[in-house]
Structure 1
Amino acid sequence: MKKRELLQGTVSDYTYDGMGVVKVDNFTYFVRGVLLHEEIEFLILKRNKKLGYGKVERILKESEHRITPSCPYYPKCGGCHIMHMDYEAQLDFKHRIVKQNIQNIGKLDIDVRKPLASNTSHYRNKAQFPAQGHPFAMGFYRLRSNDLVDIDTCLVQSELIDTIYAELRTIKNTSFVDDVRHVLIKHAFVSGEVMVAFIMRKDHKEEIAAFMKPLLDRYPIVSLLQNINTRNDNVILGDHIDVIDGKAYIVEELDGLKFQISLHSFFQINPKQTIHLYNEAIKSANITNEDRVIDLYCGVGSITLFLARQAKHVTGVEIVAPAIENAKINQQLNQMDNVTFICSDAGTYANKIVSSKKYPDVVFVDPPRKGLDTLTIESTVKMKPRTIAYISCNPATLARDIAIYKEHGYTCEYVQPVDMFPNTYHVECVVLLQRAIS
């Protein structure tokens, strides 16, 4: 079989990122934009000794779960990956991927529950729009590419972000347009406050202020910032921030708790679903007012403060210093005196706890996509907490780490996926690991 050859086959499975798996003569091809059990005709784009990639040309037998995406830029824009599936199929896909990872990577027989569903549109509270000139374009990148897709609207951003973005596109008529790298918008759903930050190659504070004045009069933009970034890589934000108008942050509220969000702060992008995620984890861990809890990878302290409403004391640990500064401010905003925030590497601090022998009752971990390192796992095990609550954004590393914990005497009964990112292949999971009583 050669490149550009047409083949026919049936979609038998999915890859982790939502591509269809099609086997022809015992050879595997990955094809984007198809659904499970569909019969398709596809064009071979690339093939090596182990697998090939194809582009669907015709759908010979269509799935009942196929829908026409409501976004006119799908699939050119790389922000969404599975918008051609109805929501039932999206949840089934995410359930399937988590289950496969638990079984194939972790080699574990654990109940994987159906994902907790989310609203599917206008759920994002943050948008980063790259910009470029000659000709001017602003939007999102194509999947796995630096090619910019020029878009007018985005259906997964909050409606207010989408409205403000539509007006910001007139930036193409300004004198400083060539120095705009990105425009970042954050929207606090409960307070309504909005932050708009221009990531610039050079200083244009006065021109930005003049351009934004009509928008400041019409919208609740309480934080207008300029961020200078002169790097020649893909890092979006630089270190230098100028407050052009208002303040350097916005304030959001989650389930009655207030959080100050700065430009560099990480905050969950689906706030309504975040409440379900945190409450699911805390409820399952059965936190009591006698428990001492350690929250590793605590960020700006969002789940730490949720925990503090239930526990006797919570220690939040985060290696990023500005995040810890935000966390301490958030502690003050909510007047909680049973919380301590520590700026440290998670594994290093966990190892110190082992040395001190002041063991917690419960440990929460919410690591980045790479999962937990050996020191963190071994140290949390040596603490002997009755429960380790693991929140994960990567089912593959989650499955790997659960298997390691099992070797150390910690087991779990179920995995609870939570759909934080509808129309994308991403999925969060909550796992409760219980220590065997010896």
Structure 2
Amino acid sequence: MNKNDIVTVEITDIGVSGEGIGHVDGYTLFIKDAVIGDVVEAKVMKAKKNYGYARLMKVITPSEYRVEPKCAFARRCGGCQIQEMSYDRQLVFKDQKIRGNLERIGGFTKDQIDTVMQPVVGMEHPFGYRNKAQFPFGTDKEGNPITGFYAGRTHDIIANTDCALGVEQNKEILEIILQYMRENKIKSYDEKTGKGLIRHALIRYGFKTKEIMVCLVVSGKKLPKAERLIEKLIQIEGMTSITISPNTRRDNVIMGDSYEILWGQGYITDYIGNVKYQISPLSFYQVNPVQTEKLYGLALEYADLKGDETVWDLYCGIGTISLFLAQKAKQVYGVEIVPQAIDDAKENAKINAIDNAEFFVGKAEEVLPEYYAEYEREHNGETAHADVIVVDPPRKGCDETLLETIVKMQPEKVVYVSCDSATLARDLKYLCANGYEIKMCRGVDQFPQSVHVETCVLLSKLGQ
């Protein structure tokens, strides 16, 4: 197979990034935007010895799983990798992705996985679900400001103010910002030169409260003629918070380290179940409130709290899972590296009148081992114990030092919430080699139309 070859290929599998996989005379091709079951014509763009990457030129025979995408930019945009796949088939793909990682990386057998896996929790309405969106700003060839999303694997902006995954208010907000920029000759930030002012707009929406937050990330300290923008934005029903976040760094981190209130308050509120949360521009808060309630409900079900347990919630963010668990536990300790998030967590405990949750600032992989060592010193060699430990780490998973301490503390149960089933499988392999076994595992589709899936796993001590 050579570069620029044109081939006809049937798509028989899906890769972890949602790309179609087909074979021509034993040679494997990865083809973005092709759906399992398609017969396609593709052009080879990169040819390795045993496999290559090809561009979809046309669909000759469409798969039974192929659907018309809701968004005209679905193929170009980096946000929706599998919008052209029927939603039922997306859930099958996500189930297979979790299973594949558990088998390949975790070393679990198919029988073991079949015993513990439950069906992926899907959505009734898999569009318009995001309560948060971050829109980059740029400039078109005519010099006009634009906003939208990055094309796949690039920082080229596809101009689009009406994302099918976001709430309908986003479009009106973005059009107001663009009009303000044009009228007041305010430039978008240019990553290449470091010049220009407006980098991103962060929009948050409370699904239960209908409160709206707009935070402009700016490469500077002030927003010129801000009152003109505020005047228009506050006419939108539900507008609660307008802020700016200065970010003068020359890297890919979106938000600055702080924010300044331009109008209203520095946060919005929303509910998961009957727990109220205060969310600032810098807060980590799950983007899909409908599925988050199902995910945290699953974590609570797996923890099976009776009311007398001590629970540690590691990577606790603004206390979302901690406060959910505190309703049923004796005591919950939350750990999070972001100080602002811990401030929010403490405030969230207060506004919900929850007094059995305590929060610590720091890296989970440092705080828990230090707590364990200190407890041992202060109690003459007696070891610290937790009944349940909940972890909800970033994509990189848990540090091995943290996993070691979890094993030492010997909780009856570990509930692992993961946004990356590959690092989840790696960490489960460690825990299951050190006295634990998987009892239940279930995917929750937090991100319909994309290849990502959350997973919730219950582990218990062997012999329990």
TM-score by length of 2: 0.91
1:83 aligns with 2:68: no
Task: State the match for 2:412 in structure 1.
Answer: 386
Q: How far apart, CA to CA, are the structure 2 residues paired with 1:190 and 1:98?
A: 31
* Deviation at residue 203 of structure 1 after TM alignment: 4.0
1:317 aligns with 2:301: no
Figure out how many residues of one structure are paired with residues of the other and give that number: 438
> Contact (CA 8 Å) 2:176, 2:232: kept in 1 or not?
no
Q: How far apart, CA to CA, are the structure 2 residues paired with 1:136 and 1:166?
A: 11
Task: Select which of 121, 126, 137 maps to 1:116.
Answer: 121
Q: Say which SS state the counterpart of residue 78 (structure 1) adopts.
A: coil
Q: How far apart, CA to CA, are the structure 2 residues paired with 1:219 and 1:358?
A: 51
1:173 aligns with 2:182: yes
Give unmatched runs, 5+ long, in structure 2. Answer: 188-196, 376-382
Task: State the match for 2:193 in structure 1.
Answer: none
Q: How far apart, CA to CA, are the structure 2 residues paired with 1:25 and 1:176?
A: 58
Task: Select which of 400, 403, 412 maps to 2:429.
Answer: 403
Indicate how the Cα distance of structure 1 residues 131 and 163 shifts in structure 2: closer, same or farther if over 3 A, else same: same
Q: What letter matches 1:151 in structure 2?
A: N
Give unmatched runs, 5+ long, in structure 1. Answer: none
1:370 aligns with 2:385: no
1:130 aligns with 2:142: no
Task: State the match for 1:152 in structure 2.
Answer: 161
Task: State the match for 1:2 in structure 2.
Answer: 2
* Deviation at residue 240 of structure 1 after TM alignment: 4.1
Task: Select which of 277, 281, 285 maps to 2:303.
Answer: 285
Task: Select which of 299, 310, 316 maps to 1:298.
Answer: 316
Q: What letter matches 2:426 in structure 1?
A: R
Deviation larger for 358-367 or 53-62 = 53-62
How big is each residue's C-alpha offset from its partner over 1:40-72, in whole Å with a ceiling of 9 and x where there is no partner?
Answer: 221101112342110122323321111010111
The aligned runs of 1:21-420 (5 Å cut-off) are 21-109=21-109, 110-111=113-114, 112-118=117-123, 119-133=125-139, 134-178=143-187, 179-205=197-223, 207-355=225-373, 356=375, 357-420=383-446
TM-score by length of 1: 0.96
Q: What letter matches 2:10 in structure 1?
A: T
> Contact (CA 8 Å) 1:176, 1:204: kept in 2 or not?
no
Deviation larger for 232-241 or 264-273 = 232-241
* Deviation at residue 245 of structure 1 after TM alignment: 0.7
Q: Say which SS state the counterpart of residue 37 (structure 2) adopts.
A: coil
> Contact (CA 8 Å) 2:447, 2:453: kept in 1 or not?
yes
* Deviation at residue 164 of structure 1 after TM alignment: 2.4
How big is each residue's C-alpha offset from its partner over 1:5-42, in whole Å with a ceiling of 9 and x where there is no partner?
Answer: 11122212111110011122222211011111322221
* Deviation at residue 315 of structure 1 after TM alignment: 0.4
Q: How far apart, CA to CA, are the structure 2 residues paired with 1:161 and 1:335?
A: 33
> Contact (CA 8 Å) 1:33, 1:84: kept in 2 or not?
yes
Q: What letter matches 2:441 in structure 1?
A: V
Q: What letter matches 1:82 in structure 2?
A: I
Q: How far apart, CA to CA, are the structure 1 residues paired with 2:398 and 2:216?
A: 34
Deviation larger for 336-345 or 427-436 = 336-345
Q: How far apart, CA to CA, are the structure 1 residues paired with 2:347 and 2:341?
A: 10
Q: How far apart, CA to CA, are the structure 2 residues paired with 1:368 and 1:117?
A: 22
Q: Say which SS state the counterpart of residue 251 (structure 1) adopts.
A: strand
Q: How far apart, CA to CA, are the structure 1 residues paired with 2:318 and 2:27?
A: 47
How big is each residue's C-alpha offset from its partner over 1:141-161, in whole Å with a ceiling of 9 and x where there is no partner?
Answer: 001101010013111101223
RMSD after superposition: 1.5
